[in-house]
Amino acid sequence: MNATEKKKIVIATKNPGKARDFAVLFEPKGYEVVTLLDYPEIEDVEETGYTFEANARKKAETIAALLGMTVLADDSGICIDALDGQPGVFSARFAGGMKSDAANNAKVLAMLGSQENPSRKAHFHCTLVLAHPDRESLVVEGDIEGEIAEFPSGDNGFGYDPLFYLPHLGKTMAELSDTEKNQISHRANALKNLEKSWAAWLEKEAD
């Protein structure tokens, strides 16, 4: 690996917005952030794990081995108390078939609606895995607590954001600005935990 590659981090996503979140942490430290859009030859890694860590680890370690580079992957989802933690790792395709935010949200509301006075408590979870072929992967997590709203509200965000209500703010996640969301989200909290330990882990690359 040459010196340039040592200062490059691949974010295992094709979502530019998600990559920007990570760039805020890494670029000030002198690392170039790239995504899977820069490596179109790499096929999607199928998420077959039953935990957030298993899926994030599989993505990060598979792509790190293919490229011989540092790779950061995440797996995130919403866990609802009254649904025994569902959708969890199946959040993206909870309604089945192709990914559909509207269908997923509708299924959640229908399942809660079938219960008598269900708890509305829920949390968003994010697991980050930083991988390199030459060392043990670094794993961190982040969460944010909230409730499931009675109906979707807000146009900013994606996934379950319109349903995820934050009582202390009186808004759903989809009613927050990008700046507000990036300060308190599960991914933001995971990144804060990553920042506490990633520098020493990355420096081992130069050993």
17 marked among binding-site residues: yes
Active-site pick, 21, 38, 75, 84? 75
158 marked among binding-site residues: yes
29 marked among binding-site residues: no
143 marked among binding-site residues: no
Active site residue 178: no
Specify which residues 143 forms β-bridges with. Answer: 125
16 marked among binding-site residues: yes
18 marked among binding-site residues: yes
2 marked among binding-site residues: no
99 marked among binding-site residues: no
Q: In 10 A of CB 68, how many CB atoms?
A: 12
187 marked among binding-site residues: yes
Q: For residues 12 and 71, is the Cβ–Cβ distance under 8 A?
A: yes
Which pairing describes strands 135-148 and 164-166: parallel, antiparallel, or unpaired?
antiparallel
75 marked among binding-site residues: yes
Annotated binding site for substrate: 13-18, 76, 158-161, 181, 186-187
Binding residues for Mg(2+): 46, 75
Residues involved in catalysis: 75
